[in-house]
Amino acid sequence: MSIGLRKPLPGVVLVLVLLGFGLTVDRSPRALWSAVLFLVFAGCLFVLSRGIKRSGWRLRDALAGGVVAAVASLLAVLLLVTTPSVVARPWQDWQTWNWGTGRSVYAFNWLQNYPQLLDPANNALVMRVESSSPSYWRANALDNFTGSAWITSQAFLLRLTPERNGETRVYSIPPDEPTPAGRAVTETFAIQSVYTNYLFAGGDPQAVVIDQSIALRMNDMRSLRVSQELGPTLSYSLTAVIPELVPAAFVGLGSNYPRDVGAYLTLPFSRVADIAGPDKAATWRNSMADSDIGGSEWLQLYALNQQIVGDATDPYDVTLRIERYLRRSYEYSLGPPPSQYSSPYAAFLFDTHSGYCQHFAGAMALLLRYNGIPSRVAVGFATGEESGPGVYLVSRNNAHAWVEAYFPTMGWVAFDPTPGRSIPNPGASSTSPSFINPFIDTGPSGSGTVATEPPRGSLPEEGPTAGQTPAGRNEGWLSGATWVPWLVGLVVIVTGWPAVRGLWRRRRLHRGPLDQRLQASIALLRQDLSDFGAPASAALTFEEVLQRVEAHLGLKPDLALVARADAVLFGGRGARSQDLERAESLRREVRARLRRRHGWLRTAFAWYGARRGRKA
């Protein structure tokens, strides 16, 4: 459109904006064929826009055009295959860049995809936690499943009132009913380079001690939040109860859930218990075919659930089977393959069988609710690296999502379906230390009574290992080259400025009446002479300008052109197209002689509008 309207400058600016976006934040995988097809159409556009005006083509014009087109296409293809227009991973994410403090500062959004948080090339320290017991450091929970995403629907209605204790403030937190059995510990959080609205907690929080007054609120999911984000550094202590549970205590608890827990059973489609009739599979398919949430994507859910759960009826047995099935049958990857499913959880369960912690946790919570077990997705950080007794260094790549399920008389209990992760405390999860399965496992999720998880010290990080992309491909040196976007931007500015400047100066040559375009051509001739140190002010007539050209370059003036210009500028005559062509031909010849006389260094200064002295 820019070329068709003879306004190339907006087109150049638009391309540069899109290029800058692609080099920083565009993470969507693209197909190469569409980019190549665009190049073909763009080449045709250039050929037609110029070729229509030509009465004939000379051989050298065709050869030169072909060479330029081939080189430009090659460079464009090389650019396309090295930027996120084709590959999904950008060089840098500008949202994580630090503008002046010398350190990376992040603002975590717990609803975004975890590949935006996890980056092996930038495994920056997020916080230092001191605690006598390891834990997952929880920020919030997601309680509402829309069919394509887990989101938080609960407001933070309970405002906590502090009590002064010297220079500190103590925020007491009402106890939860019921609270899983465990032991009280004191946790100290030293957050670095993070802006957050949430206070992290390991276990069930009891009290917060902080050296500043904050508007601290809590929701029904025991999450702590402030309205105005804190950071990038923050220190506080927290008293919490770390659960220490015995798996056998969960057997036979039944499903007599309190009324307020019923909200954690809602789904955008029916649950197993809601399916009536002798052929439940057929009834399920018929009901989903008429669903408003893309029910055709969930037709396989009933069959998959039957495969996982089998004949289990105890809620705890069902929970363990789902957890182990996902860990053993699905692959962890930060770059799952593309899918035709619109819901990422349907794609994970039925198509790709590959995903990251968000997929695993969301899928398990979905299957639990489908079987009538209250559940939600917890988000925060995994334990981190133990740097000393009771000291844990939590990095950006420890960002994690797991599952909380509700059991009568026990309350909310953590489970982790993501391969390579383990709940760090004794508990009900099959990943907990020294877990013993109280059921004789004959279901499809595996057999045996003792979990066979790897030792905690050998667990892999949530993100891929260094030197690997999320999909497991070898990652090039560009992934860690933080200077590349700045270098590209500098090159674009340095190389693009002369072109932009030239386009701006020639903008009046291609629009308006012919007499105005002729005046623009003469004005450009004066500017070209001034750029090379041969001033030709507006006070000089066109004939006097040409006399200076003759004296400076030895080019004899075109007296016929002078007469026509005077007739147009001062005699009221109308300009002709050949007048403009002769003026432009003269200007091009003057520029060529100026370059030959002054050399490429002075020419480069002239391109950028920098004048190195003046000559009369």
Q: Domain residues of the chain, as ranges?
A: 106-432+443-477, 506-616
Instruction: Count the neighbouring beta carbons within 10 Å of the beta carbon of residue 104.
Output: 19
Is pLDDT at 464 greater than 50 in this prediction? no
Q: Label residue 404 exposed, middle or buried (CB < 10 Å: 0-12, 13-18, 19+).
A: buried
**Among 12-16, 461-465, 552-556, the range of highest mean pLDDT:** 552-556
Q: For the residues 356-369, what does the mean pLDDT come to?
A: 95
- Is the model more confident about 236 or about 14? 236
Nearest-CA neighbor of 224 among 174, 190, 150?
Answer: 174
Residue 144: the pLDDT is: 92
Instruction: Count the neighbouring beta carbons within 10 Å of the beta carbon of residue 282.
Output: 12
Query: Which amino acid belongs to residue 147?
Result: G
Is pLDDT at 186 greater than 90 in this prediction? yes
Q: For the residues 326-341, what does the mean pLDDT come to?
A: 91
- Is the model more confident about 452 or about 370? 370
Nearest-CA neighbor of 606 among 451, 592, 405?
Answer: 592
CA–CA gap between residue 204 and residue 570 (Å, rounded): 89
Residue 428: the pLDDT is: 93
Proportion of the chain above pLDDT 90, given as a percent: 35
- Is the model more confident about 324 or about 509? 324
Residue 466: the pLDDT is: 31
Is pLDDT at 246 greater than 80 in this prediction? yes
CA–CA gap between residue 446 and residue 135 (Å, rounded): 27
CA–CA gap between residue 92 and residue 160 (Å, rounded): 40
Confidence of residue 219 (pLDDT cuts 50, 70, 90): very high
Where are the alpha helices (H) located in 270-356, listed in sequence order? 280-289, 301-309, 315-329, 344-347
Peptide bond into 178 cis (omega under 30): yes
Tokens 């001191």, located at residue: 130
Q: For the residues 557-567, what does the mean pLDDT come to?
A: 80
Is pLDDT at 226 greater than 60 in this prediction? yes
Contact 438, 247 (CB under 8 A): yes
Of 31-45, 120-134, 305-319, 324-338, the range with the lowest mean pLDDT is 31-45
Q: What spatial distance separates the first Cα and last Cα of the chain, rounded to whole Å?
A: 43
DSSP string covering 86-139? TSS--S--GGG--SSSSS--EE--TTS-GGGT--GGG--EEEEEE-SS---EEE
Residue 335: the pLDDT is: 83
Of 393-397, 442-446, 476-480, 493-497, the range with the lowest mean pLDDT is 476-480
Of 93-107, 173-187, 592-606, the range with the lowest mean pLDDT is 93-107
Q: For the residues 505-525, what does the mean pLDDT come to?
A: 81
Confidence of residue 580 (pLDDT cuts 50, 70, 90): confident
- Is the model more confident about 538 or about 281? 281
Residue 510: the pLDDT is: 76
Residue 20: the pLDDT is: 67
Residue 121: the pLDDT is: 60
- Is the model more confident about 474 or about 369? 369
Is pLDDT at 462 greater than 60 in this prediction? no
Contact 607, 501 (CB under 8 A): yes
Residue 113: the pLDDT is: 53
- Is the model more confident about 19 or about 394? 394
- Is the model more confident about 40 or about 526? 526
Is pLDDT at 227 greater than 80 in this prediction? yes
Q: For the residues 265-284, what does the mean pLDDT come to?
A: 88
Contact 429, 423 (CB under 8 A): yes
- Is the model more confident about 370 or about 537? 370
Residue 407: the pLDDT is: 95
- Tokens read off for 297: 């994507």
Residue 327: the pLDDT is: 96
CA–CA gap between residue 93 and residue 21 (Å, rounded): 9
Contact 322, 311 (CB under 8 A): no
Proportion of the chain above pLDDT 70, given as a percent: 74
- Tokens read off for 472: 């497991």
All residues at 6 or more sequence positions from 394 whose CB lies less than 8 Å from its CB, including other chains: 125, 126, 127, 128, 129, 137, 381, 382, 383, 384
Contact 415, 378 (CB under 8 A): no
Residue 368: the pLDDT is: 97
Q: Give the pLDDT confidence of 139-170 residue by residue, as tens digits.
A: 999 999 988 889 888 889 999 999 988 889 99
Q: Mutual orientation of helices 542-553 and 559-569 as an angle, nearest 10°? A: 150
Confidence of residue 122 (pLDDT cuts 50, 70, 90): low
- Is the model more confident about 490 or about 441? 490
Put residue 371 in one of left, alpha, beta given phi > 0 → left and psi -120 to 50 → alpha.
alpha
Q: How far is CA 504 from CA 2, 381, 423, 583, in A?
A: 14, 53, 63, 19
C-alpha dihedral (38, 40, 42, 43), degrees to nearest 10: 160
Residue 600: the pLDDT is: 78
For the chain, the average pLDDT equals: 79
Instruction: Count the neighbouring beta carbons within 10 Å of the beta carbon of residue 430.
Output: 27
Q: At CA 521, angle to CA 520 and CA 523, rounded to 5?
A: 65
- Is the model more confident about 579 or about 345? 345
Q: For the residues 541-554, what does the mean pLDDT come to?
A: 81
Tokens 């829309």, located at residue: 146
Residue 4: the pLDDT is: 55
Residue 248: the pLDDT is: 93
Put residue 181 in one of left, alpha, beta given phi > 0 → left and psi -120 to 50 → alpha.
beta
Residue 190: the pLDDT is: 94
